[in-house]
Structure 1
Amino acid sequence: MEGGSDNSIPANLPEKKLRRFDSLDVESSTVSGGGTHGHKTATTTASWGVILHLAFQSLGIVYGDIGTSPLYVYSSTFPLGIIKHKDDILGVLSLIFYTLTLIPLLKYVFFVLQANDNGEGGTFALYSLLCRYAKIGLIPTQQAEDQEVSNFQLQLPSNRLKMASSLKSKLENSRSAKMFLLFATMLGTSMVMGDGVLTPSISVLSAVGGIKNATSSMTQDRIVWISAVILVLLFTVQRFGTHKVGYSFAPIICIWFTLNCGIGVYNFFKFDPSVIKAINPKYIFDYFKRNKKDAWISLGGVVMCVTGTEALFADVGHFSVTSIRLSMCCIAYPALVSAYFGQASFLRKHTDQVANTFYSSIPGPLYWPMFIVAVLASIVASQAMISGTFSIIQQSLSYGCFPRVKVVHTSSKHEGQVYIPEVNYFLMFACLGVTLGFRDTTGIGNAYGIAVVFVMVLTSSFLVLIMILIWKTHLPIIIFYVLIIGLFELLYLSSVLYKFNQGGYLPLAFAGFLMSIMYTWNDVHRRKYYYELEHKISPQKLKDDIDSLTKTLNRVPGLGLFYSKLVHGIPPIFKHYLSNIPTLQRVLIFVSFKSLPISKVLMEERFLFRRVEPDELNVFRCVVRYGYRDIIHEQEESFEKVLVERLKVFIEVESWKKQQKEEERKKRVEEEIEVVDRAWKDGIVHLIGQDEIVASKGSGLAKRVLINYVYDAIRRNLRQNEEVFDIPRQRMLKVGMTCEL
């Protein structure tokens, strides 16, 4: 009614936007613990043309590692170059066949890929699914409004099992269980990074070593230095991005698989087609019966046939679930099986050549073409785990589990394709150190096996939790998975650990180093958040402080953005700022960046605003919600523009909740929006807290070392907030404060 009080909701303002929660005002006293999720939409709606396009591109990124395993599996399984019994070849072949079938094909393609988080994979994707369903996060940033984000909701079946609710309750009420899950996630991340170091070393050394068969003048020293040069070139091209690298490498892997498949079929029929009987698992039992402990030790070589399998899941965000499944089932798996059966057939007639099985089994005219393709394929093999490392590091950043590094999106078409310069160069130097240090594939192979199997076991452990908590899988299926695949992987783990002192210590030492950095960063990150939560300024306290400064407080033109990690209340550093510089911009917004345990947050759902009373202050709080695949503040100007536009929408929406006449409401909204527009045109000032973190007085030695030295050293040598947010220095003001934790 004209001139009356009209509280009806306009059609363009959804009702859910008018719901009022007080989650931005949660007091620290209420926070405890002071200390199908579905596929990506593009995947389910993509045309077959797009899927085939991604499947082809994935060949150059995902399958290089597992695809080049035929270079060294048999030689690693029989390291002394001796085959005691001809049927041992059948036993090993049977092990290879069932390992390839159970782990990459059954486990990853049909189980693990189903556990993707809106199309994203990796250890942190599994952890994020658990965080969404159960409150296992260690930092209290949960808000009621998060449940309304589109990708947040999980499509769950009915609660068929009491086991699910019981396990969920135990996880949520146990701080030690939460710490263990985070620790396991960090361990998985560290091991995948270890794969990213060891894969290039062993693949390139194995391929380049093939030249020894053709010329005796090629010494091991020359092979090592040629490998080092190739590795430097490989890491140098990473900056061009997964999209271009994938297109460049995919044809090489296509040729590699084709030649391996063709040579495998040729050898199979020429030498001994009877190796087909290795499909019978009886030969595995006979192999163990004959060789006993030696057979168990040899599993460390057999498991090399599935190196790089984790890339199928870790790299799925670069492509899609369907494209990975298609390329694995139709190309990679058949080619690998053909290659291993062909090599086994060759070895049945040439048991003395097991030390160099791959090159010895190549027909003469194809030797040099195959050598060239092998070297190129070994370079590609490194790409799988390098890309996977970039993916999981990006995810770990969102959970505060890794120091600040720059994440660069390398493709405008595919959101998951990223490049991280600091991590790339770290991997390069680590890889060169391993190559120049070990100088051959034997020690690297021992180290490689441990890294590969550890990641597989951790993935299986998370998957079982997801089966129980989220999928509500029937108990017999869970038992089947644990007894068949779980025990299979534990058997392999026991074997690779046997070679701990023969190079197997390397990935564990590497993981220990990375985890110490990740844990230190995460621990201080959590402590700082709880400090701010405990000392936060309530809206009423802020109002009182501003009232007390009325005579001296100076309001200046412009828009101020005050950055903070705190999503509940106003950060304590703001009081420190006011007491020293009693100046406020005409409009002030407290901006908090928050990562949700989902891959992407839609732009229209990203900004969550609240007003700081009284209205005349023109002070707002804004929580900017990102998924772990989103890039925070990548383009500063567009971010500012979107932020201001969303603020104006909030002002419009908020006005409908007030009991005002329509004319009064419109006038008030117009006045406020005019103030915001004028402030934006007058210029934006970015206010960033520059906290000095120190251990509180009376802290123990361990805590002082952790905070005052280790954390401080990491922080000083990595990117600062303004670099991560791309804030121009001419419009930036740092506010310093000391936090005693």
Structure 2
Amino acid sequence: MPTDDFVQEEPIEQTHHNDDDSEDAESDDTHHPKTHPSLHKLHRSDSMDLESAKVPSHHLRASQAVEWSVILQLAFQSIGVVYGDIGTSPLYVYASTFADGIKNSDDILGVLSLIFYTITLIPLIKYIFIVLRANDNGEGGTFALYSLICRYARVGLIPSQQAEDRDVSNFQLELPSNRLRRASKLKSKLENSQFAKFFLLIITMLGTSMVIGDGVLTPCISVLSAVGGIKEATSAMTEDRIVWISTAILICLFMVQRFGTDKVGYSFAPIICVWFSLIGGIGVYNFIKFDPTVIKSINPKYIVDYFKRNKKDAWVSLGGVVLAITGTEALFADVGHFTVRSIQISMCSVTYPALIMAYTGQDSFLRKHQSLVSDTFFKSIPHSLYWPMFVVAVAAAIIASQAMISGTFSIIQQSLSLGCFPRVKIVHTSAKYEGQVYIPEVNYLLMIACIGVTLGFRTTEKIGNAYGIAVVFVMTLTSSLLVLIMIMIWKTDILFVVAYVVIIGSIEFVYLSSVLYKFDQGGYLPLAFAAALMTVMYVWNNVYRKKYNFELEHKLSLERVKDIASDTNLCRIPGLALFYSELVQGIPPIFEHYVANIQALHSVLVFVSIKSLPISKVPAEERFLFRRVEPKELNIFRCVVRYGYTDIRNKVEPLEQTLVEKLKEFITENIYLAHIIDGKKGKEDENGMMNGEGGEEEWQERVVSETSMVEKAWEGGVVHLIGENEVIASKGSGIGKRLLIDYAYNFMKKNLRQSEKVFDIPHKRMLKVGMTYEL
């Protein structure tokens, strides 16, 4: 564990209080008449102290019980947000599977059997009952899995693992004393392999990029499929008109994103519920009317016969079958908006039965109308229900698109927080729901990509080829990370792990091989999206880490800071200066550059580091971590402001106001703790109280004096000093490194949002300090 050059102003003994230590903590506090409730904050080990060497295990917090009324309400709401994508799959699955028509009547039974077991094994068993358990304090998605692995093994390349962060209650890290041998062995291999660390980060980026690719393809295929149903009403509706109507709907959809999903969110769940009721009801109607014998397809023998008859063609058709589980990753990615139990209830009670009935009904219809396979969905609708079904289908397609677009924004927000994406503007569109964000730059890029795909591919069959690759890639990567979690964190029985790999893993591998076969028929599209996004993410993250490590290696020593601040030629001016830096463990080298050129320091100086932790949320009371830079007469402090990857920054009040209040609390607690320790050196009086070197009045005077000094500095004016570091490749670097730093990274940095815009720093009180780093 890295340490730092700065210690607290008093040689206070470092102890760590967990739940079992609470009685000891209380006994310490009884030695003073005024027990401070937050005294335990100062009893910690962390990377800001030289003494930090070992961190005790942290006890898991007891999960708070959620009332069933709340769970059922969330289950209803989740129907509109989570299942729009998988719910609209019946629009195009059979058409994509039988792209060349139906050659044998029993092939229909084989495909229905494939759809039934695929939906049962992947969304239901894998995601609902296994993957949802791997949430990160309620948050899901690829980064949630990665963050869990990073906390249980030191494999994170992102510089965010220090001792003090394990004290954050949401870290939920428990290190058992008797680890199973295979868990320890795997953990050791991961920690000792630089390749494994890079590989984990790369597949996390790849999974994230593929989900963003879903955000492009879902609106295209859903809207195009729904609008295509109008061909049943009029023969005048040509393919060109369908494409242009779909494009117009997509443009409108992206243009309203800036208003946020909160304003239209209340209509989502009822519409999707109506959609599931209609497709399920029509499925039952068709099942009874046309061919009830399709129920025999529950026998997996029909899958074997299907492959025997069609061989390679059956394998290729799996690319259409897999579209039945599109949007499954949204089950996991959106769990943070709801609860695990609520999503399990809504899936088992509404979504799963409705989908099975819908596909079974379409199968029964096709047994009697094999020639209508290209328009199965709308042809199988009873004539009297056509127009209501068309309207609901278009609405459901728009909602499915909306959910994936919103999910894309959330994923990019997570990537940005963990240093894996260039700085972009995050707009929070709802004061009620934290997860609802809007990113203007990304929104317009998604819109252009969707319009390009719709106009370029024109048919759902070609888009489906691209869609399948994105879907299966993400599922395969999720399974890979999940196996690591099973072995290393859950310590699952090895037989269960093997069974999971053999059953679920082999199914996903077969599907992946099938969708890759159509690479030249549109399958290259998500891979091209992923390659472009991964290039951006890798370049940004790679240089970000190089720059951080450069500052860490060149940070100022304690003696050098004392020399700088004690210089008689240095002028101290009234006011509070907040000096922003990405460096967490020490004073950045840019500070010396600043003092050498300005020759002045404000009366109170706080070095602020905005730090993202590999957890979903940091409780507000644990967000700020302060230390004082010696000697204390300099009035220089260091502050780490910690955020989880789903936390909202500057949501209610400006950062500076909260920071000043927390700084005063820190000063008060620090003086109070020093007074208690001094008191223990004294003697007990007749009332049982401790009399130290300083009395009650003296320590209170110190509190008033130092906190008023901070208030006076704040009233004198706040200046935000931004360290804008230019980076260039060092002399003698290879062409690859020069391209990476001098061109790729600096191009993105110059054309994207700057630090002051990300943190909403007022321009009138901002001063940029520039310095060039040779990496």
Q: TM-score, normalised by structure 1?
A: 0.94
Map 1:129-208 → 2, pairs under 5 A: 129-154=148-173, 159=178, 161-208=180-227
1:283 aligns with 2:284: no
Once the two structures are aligned, what percentage of the paired residues are identical? 70
1:590 aligns with 2:607: yes
How far apart are the structure 2 equivalents of 1:157 and 1:268?
Answer: 54
Matched AA of 2:694: K
| 1:324-376 deviation per Cα after TM superposition (whole angstroms, max 9, x unaligned) | 22211111111100000000011111111111111111111112221121112
1:716 aligns with 2:735: no
| 1:556-579 deviation per Cα after TM superposition (whole angstroms, max 9, x unaligned) | 111110000100110110100000
How far apart are the structure 1 equivalents of 2:509 and 2:432?
Answer: 40
Q: Secondary structure at the match of 1:61?
A: helix
Q: Secondary structure at the match of 1:657?
A: helix
Map 1:537-616 → 2, pairs under 5 A: 537-547=556-566, 549-550=567-568, 552-616=569-633
1:312 aligns with 2:331: yes
1:646 aligns with 2:662: yes
Q: Secondary structure at the match of 1:621?
A: strand
| 1:571-596 deviation per Cα after TM superposition (whole angstroms, max 9, x unaligned) | 11010000000111111000001111
1:417 aligns with 2:436: yes
Which residue does 2:700 correspond to in 1? 666
CA 1:668/1:256 → structure 2, altered by over 3 Å: closer, same or farther? same
Matched AA of 1:691: N
| 1:518-570 deviation per Cα after TM superposition (whole angstroms, max 9, x unaligned) | 001001100100110111112221001222x21x2111111110000100110
Q: Note the C-alpha offset of 1:37.
A: 11
1:23 aligns with 2:56: no
1:328 aligns with 2:347: yes
CA 1:688/1:175 → structure 2, altered by over 3 Å: closer, same or farther? same
**Preserved CA contact (<8 Å) 2:573 2:601:** yes
Which residue does 2:3 correspond to in 1? none
Q: Secondary structure at the match of 1:23?
A: coil
Q: Note the C-alpha offset of 1:322.
A: 2.1
**Preserved CA contact (<8 Å) 2:216 2:449:** yes
CA 1:311/1:445 → structure 2, altered by over 3 Å: closer, same or farther? same
Matched AA of 1:533: L
Q: Secondary structure at the match of 1:55?
A: helix
Which residue does 2:81 correspond to in 1? 61
**Preserved CA contact (<8 Å) 1:407 1:631:** no
1:51 aligns with 2:76: no
Q: Secondary structure at the match of 2:580?
A: strand
Which residue does 1:515 correspond to in 2? 534
Indicate which of 733, 736, 756 corresponds to 1:699: 733
Q: Note the C-alpha offset of 1:16.
A: 3.2
How far apart are the structure 2 equivalents of 1:9 and 1:97?
Answer: 69
Q: How many pairs are equivalent? A: 724
| 1:210-243 deviation per Cα after TM superposition (whole angstroms, max 9, x unaligned) | 1222222111111111000101111222223233
How far apart are the structure 2 equivalents of 1:502 and 1:420?
Answer: 31
Indicate which of 239, 251, 264 corresponds to 2:270: 251
CA 1:462/1:9 → structure 2, altered by over 3 Å: closer, same or farther? farther
Indicate which of 724, 734, 740 corresponds to 1:690: 724
How far apart are the structure 1 equivalents of 2:221 and 2:30?
Answer: 72
Matched AA of 1:17: K
Q: Secondary structure at the match of 1:426?
A: helix
Which residue does 2:21 correspond to in 1? none
| 1:226-276 deviation per Cα after TM superposition (whole angstroms, max 9, x unaligned) | 000101111222223233332222222111111101100000001111111
Q: Secondary structure at the match of 1:384?
A: helix
| 1:302-321 deviation per Cα after TM superposition (whole angstroms, max 9, x unaligned) | 00000111111111222222
Q: Secondary structure at the match of 1:558?
A: strand
Q: Note the C-alpha offset of 1:405.
A: 1.5
Indicate which of 376, 391, 394 corresponds to 1:375: 394
How far apart are the structure 2 equivalents of 1:290 and 1:739?
Answer: 65
How far apart are the structure 1 equivalents of 2:489 and 2:598?
Answer: 51
Q: Note the C-alpha offset of 1:173.
A: 1.2
| 1:481-540 deviation per Cα after TM superposition (whole angstroms, max 9, x unaligned) | 111111111110010000001110110011000000000100110010011011111222
| 1:634-692 deviation per Cα after TM superposition (whole angstroms, max 9, x unaligned) | 45x54222211111121122222363523433322221111111111111110001111
Which residue does 2:5 correspond to in 1? none
1:678 aligns with 2:695: no
Q: Secondary structure at the match of 2:674?
A: coil
How far apart are the structure 2 equivalents of 1:128 and 1:732?
Answer: 34
Which residue does 2:476 correspond to in 1? 457
Map 1:391-402 → 2, pairs under 5 A: 391-402=410-421
**Preserved CA contact (<8 Å) 2:112 2:359:** yes
Q: Note the C-alpha offset of 1:22.
A: 5.6
How far apart are the structure 2 equivalents of 1:169 and 1:309?
Answer: 33
**Preserved CA contact (<8 Å) 1:407 1:420:** yes
Q: Note the C-alpha offset of 1:63.
A: 1.0
CA 1:305/1:20 → structure 2, altered by over 3 Å: closer, same or farther? closer
How far apart are the structure 2 equivalents of 1:621 and 1:668?
Answer: 20
**Preserved CA contact (<8 Å) 2:61 2:169:** no
Q: Note the C-alpha offset of 1:69.
A: 0.5
Which residue does 1:214 correspond to in 2? 233
How far apart are the structure 2 equivalents of 1:537 and 1:687?
Answer: 18
Which residue does 1:89 correspond to in 2? 108
How far apart are the structure 2 equivalents of 1:724 and 1:321?
Answer: 32
How far apart are the structure 1 equivalents of 2:409 and 2:228?
Answer: 29
**Preserved CA contact (<8 Å) 1:157 1:471:** no
How far apart are the structure 2 equivalents of 1:247 and 1:714?
Answer: 38
How far apart are the structure 1 equivalents of 2:486 and 2:453?
Answer: 38
Matched AA of 1:475: I
How far apart are the structure 2 equivalents of 1:210 and 1:99?
Answer: 26
**Preserved CA contact (<8 Å) 2:80 2:268:** yes
Q: TM-score, normalised by structure 2?
A: 0.90
Q: Secondary structure at the match of 2:156?
A: coil
Q: Note the C-alpha offset of 1:158.
A: 7.2
How far apart are the structure 2 equivalents of 1:106 and 1:71?
Answer: 24
Map 1:406-555 → 2, pairs under 5 A: 406-547=425-566, 549-550=567-568, 552-555=569-572
Unaligned runs of 5+ in 2: 1-28, 679-692
**Preserved CA contact (<8 Å) 2:160 2:614:** no
Unaligned runs of 5+ in 1: 31-35
How far apart are the structure 2 equivalents of 1:143 and 1:290?
Answer: 59
How far apart are the structure 2 equivalents of 1:657 and 1:400?
Answer: 38
Which residue does 1:301 correspond to in 2? 320
Question: Superposition RMSD on alpha carbons, in Å?
Answer: 2.1
How far apart are the structure 2 equivalents of 1:481 and 1:211?
Answer: 43
| 1:434-457 deviation per Cα after TM superposition (whole angstroms, max 9, x unaligned) | 111111112111000000000000
Which residue does 1:624 correspond to in 2? 641
1:228 aligns with 2:261: no
How far apart are the structure 1 equivalents of 2:396 and 2:714?
Answer: 54
Which residue does 1:77 correspond to in 2? 97
**Preserved CA contact (<8 Å) 1:191 1:455:** yes
CA 1:586/1:156 → structure 2, altered by over 3 Å: closer, same or farther? closer
Q: Which runs of 4+ in 1 moved over 4 A?
A: 5-10, 36-41, 155-160
How far apart are the structure 2 equivalents of 1:93 and 1:157?
Answer: 46
Q: Secondary structure at the match of 2:266?
A: helix
How far apart are the structure 1 equivalents of 2:311 and 2:245?
Answer: 40
How far apart are the structure 2 equivalents of 1:574 and 1:354?
Answer: 70
Which residue does 1:354 correspond to in 2? 373
| 1:32-65 deviation per Cα after TM superposition (whole angstroms, max 9, x unaligned) | xxxx998996xx5433333333222222221111
Which residue does 1:33 correspond to in 2? none
Matched AA of 1:97: F
